Structure 1
């Protein structure tokens, strides 16, 4: 007679490596759809069942082991598609440390790629024959032809016969995730099999994912949000995953909700800007044709989350069956594998009103009046087997509820450190509080506070603007600029300070929609530009300066207007403020209006 009151362990809890994870799926559900790629974001293209993916992984794994690459680093260079997925699992099957990157476009990307190859001491590049041909024969390949290049599409299925499972356990490094830091000194986060499996469990529990909860993603596969949070997670849960190119989404955002409706997607998401873009680029009559009632987990993360974005999207897509409560904001970083916290399926959506001035002073309090009011979005609770502390970054004293400090994390998702950077790793991954108890902790570099256990992220320590003894979050100033006039593009500006004759002054660099063209007051009436809207520069400057003064009591020293899609961003859409500052100082920004047809 069986016992009652016991909960059967989940199959997923028994996995110790990702190789074991995929092999289990291939044995138990060999003909089930694992991945479906959508050509142009709409048409069904290549696909994998679990049996097919396992065969390709064994073929590539066997080949890599015969090449003597076991235990070494191999760079993965792929455009969007399923080639990357089979190559990644092929590396796991060979106990090769994969280093995901992206084929270079231009000199900046080439420099970063060279820096990653040098830092990781990569022994080879695994890619497609097409990418291999284009990069190695490029005039500006920068010596990349000197490293060994391997094409996975040239690897025969017969190689699977030579494969044998290498030794690996939870402590084995699965891959290096290079963070979006400076081009010259990239840092590769050492992510283990155990890190990944723990993070999968946390995400699965938060969102109630099962084999019957389809996933869709347009996020880059070389970035942790797309790779870990969608692709690898889908194999862990046994959920079918539908994928499209980031470019296909950017070109026609309607493809995202259309695919969610067609394939009855349960879990999908992206950064804040994606929701704004989808509202702007879809029409009411289109939204009425879609049924998004299936989309119960609309993840929002990777950049500051705006409450206005959530409400605007929910209102626009209400005719499609979407509801505000389907949003699940989350917070994470590569150093913690991916997720630190997220709004769970049973948790209410947390949108809080706080005082702007108090938040700048380091604590969350009720607003004094409407002009002092700011809304912040909660990012849920962390998992029960992970600890989050808010710590004063200088004194290392633990902060109380509603007190702003650095977010510190402790748990099995915290990575081993940065590849070949022991000193920086000790500082970031092995931090201790002032009392020296309960460590070590991972220092995230992010600022935030907790309220009733929920984590609210407020900004980055290194990006904080300090003027006249007062703290200011750059994203607040950027939002003020972006909403003061329709010429500015959302999520496309950077606020920072520079030294001018011994004084720190405020600079804002902002992208302008390409449909506008700069003119002076004197030439406005004579403007003959038929395909663009003339804008008087003096008026824009006056509007922006007034908006910043009224909202933040700051003097805007300079507003630099730049061309659309030219501001430095990470692969997940975050503004790279320091890189923008360096381009400002070196006068290398793409100034709006220069070199364009008048």
Structure 2
């Protein structure tokens, strides 16, 4: 049964960590109308029915955890299984157990959660798992990594996980949650684009960077790819800032009127007012949205634009010790520094070898001065959705607040000649 008609003028302040926040939570003001409109989008797109079960371990102050884990079951009449976040973190197979044997099961989590589940679930824990009924596994919180999708399917396909379960999507708290999604009954779409062309702002299909489609906008939602300097809409396959016009858009940030005006009700040169500036970068290839990163995270070197993911993927794939570990690339003043998490007890010599291999792999593809630093696991700051806070990483690294296990190149300080 569908929920009530999206109506009602009353507003509430919803405190969340937004995708662009680097320091503290921003209070996003959402109207009752926006909440209901987004719930109806979710219900229709994912065909949520009372017979479905939505399983969530995400905290309820997170937009995905609140809207999908709590509100959607109430709105659609579906069943809900709600777990404590620490339950998943300590033993991720408990998430799979909660989904096992449930026809029409649905869940949502950031990309990092699927990677964590793949790494931490041992073969013995898969015994008895029946994931054949897992219909929708929404994955979001950019970037969505192709290797995560493939690794998760490889790890749990033997437990019956359908190849169509993974459902990449794009959303943000400022739009309540849901903006775009791939179909719920088809495998994810992954395409490869030329690295040099992407650095110049063009999406040209060729061997190079693999990107995951986040699908098409929900009905009633408009997306524009905008040149942030001129505010003109860019043509297809041109990289620009993602702008959204939706009945589920928020009305502003609590107590921050200037920032609200700059974000929630901006005007395009040829498309009028009412647009939300997301701060995310991407492009449209046909009707599908591909997200390339955050505007404020772009690294500009010699006039070329590089996204942190370009460095991170190459570094973690370069050596088994870094495989599956969290990596964060950031500009630290003179070069790109890639921080890669590792266990404290890893042999220092082996870590140095891995760091050197990562530098070679990165610089073979990207003409940028790069260093790789192995740091203690768990010391990279993240948002509530598991995404690294890159600017905070750079600050802590410059200020010596990040425990360094090893680095490459091992730069020597020149003697002070006075």
TM over 0.5: yes
1:546 aligns with 2:360: yes
Q: For 1:209, what is the secondary structure of its paired residue?
A: coil
| CA RMSD, Structure 1 to Structure 2 (Å) | 2.0
Q: CA deviation at 1:339?
A: 1.2
User: Who is 1:470 aligned against?
Assistant: 304
Deviations 1:541-590 (A, max 9, x none): 4212211111212221x332210111010111001000001101211112
Q: CA deviation at 1:337?
A: 0.8
User: Who is 1:461 aligned against?
Assistant: 295
Please identify the structure whose Cα radius of gyration is greater. 1
Within the candidate set 91, 101, 120, 1:252 is matched to 91
Q: Give the Cα separation in 2 of the matches to 1:178 and 1:259.
A: 27
Q: Give the Cα separation in 2 of the matches to 1:313 and 1:285.
A: 16
Counterparts of 1:193-272 in structure 2, within 5 Å, are 193-264=32-103, 266-272=105-111
1:586 aligns with 2:416: no
User: Who is 1:14 aligned against?
Assistant: 5
User: Is the 1:206–1:343 contact (alpha carbons within 8 Å) kept by the matching residues of 2?
Assistant: no
User: Is the 1:489–1:513 contact (alpha carbons within 8 Å) kept by the matching residues of 2?
Assistant: no
When normalised by structure 1's length, the TM-score is: 0.65
Q: Give the Cα separation in 2 of the matches to 1:410 and 1:289.
A: 45
Q: For 2:377, what is the secondary structure of its paired residue?
A: coil
Q: CA deviation at 1:489?
A: 6.1
Moved more, 217-226 or 257-266: 257-266
Q: CA deviation at 1:178?
A: 4.4
Q: For 1:14, what is the secondary structure of its paired residue?
A: coil
Q: For 1:231, what is the secondary structure of its paired residue?
A: helix
User: Who is 1:495 aligned against?
Assistant: 329
1:402 aligns with 2:241: no
Within the candidate set 161, 164, 168, 1:322 is matched to 161
Q: Give the Cα separation in 2 of the matches to 1:303 and 1:358.
A: 21
User: Is the 2:293–2:307 contact (alpha carbons within 8 Å) kept by the matching residues of 1?
Assistant: yes
Q: For 1:317, what is the secondary structure of its paired residue?
A: helix
Q: CA deviation at 1:246?
A: 1.6
User: Who is 1:144 aligned against?
Assistant: none
Q: CA deviation at 1:358?
A: 1.1
User: Who is 2:346 aligned against?
Assistant: 516
User: Who is 2:254 aligned against?
Assistant: 419
Q: CA deviation at 1:219?
A: 1.0
User: Is the 1:273–1:491 contact (alpha carbons within 8 Å) kept by the matching residues of 2?
Assistant: no
User: Who is 1:6 aligned against?
Assistant: none
Q: Give the Cα separation in 2 of the matches to 1:382 and 1:288.
A: 39
How many residues of Structure 1 are paired with residues of Structure 2 in the alignment? Answer: 405
Q: For 1:457, what is the secondary structure of its paired residue?
A: strand
Q: Give the Cα separation in 2 of the matches to 1:174 and 1:564.
A: 35
Q: For 2:164, what is the secondary structure of its paired residue?
A: helix
Q: CA deviation at 1:445?
A: 0.3
User: Is the 1:174–1:193 contact (alpha carbons within 8 Å) kept by the matching residues of 2?
Assistant: no
Within the candidate set 345, 355, 364, 2:184 is matched to 345
Q: For 1:579, what is the secondary structure of its paired residue?
A: helix
1:482 aligns with 2:316: yes
Q: Give the Cα separation in 1 of the matches to 2:193 and 2:6.
A: 43
Cα 1:208–1:261 shift into 2, 3 Å: same
Cα 1:467–1:261 shift into 2, 3 Å: same
For structure 2, list consecutive stretches of 5 or more residues without a partner in the other structure: 407-418
User: Is the 1:385–1:411 contact (alpha carbons within 8 Å) kept by the matching residues of 2?
Assistant: yes
User: Who is 2:172 aligned against?
Assistant: 333
Q: For 1:439, what is the secondary structure of its paired residue?
A: strand
User: Is the 1:337–1:414 contact (alpha carbons within 8 Å) kept by the matching residues of 2?
Assistant: yes
Q: Give the Cα separation in 2 of the matches to 1:314 and 1:418.
A: 39
Q: Give the Cα separation in 1 of the matches to 2:209 and 2:340.
A: 22
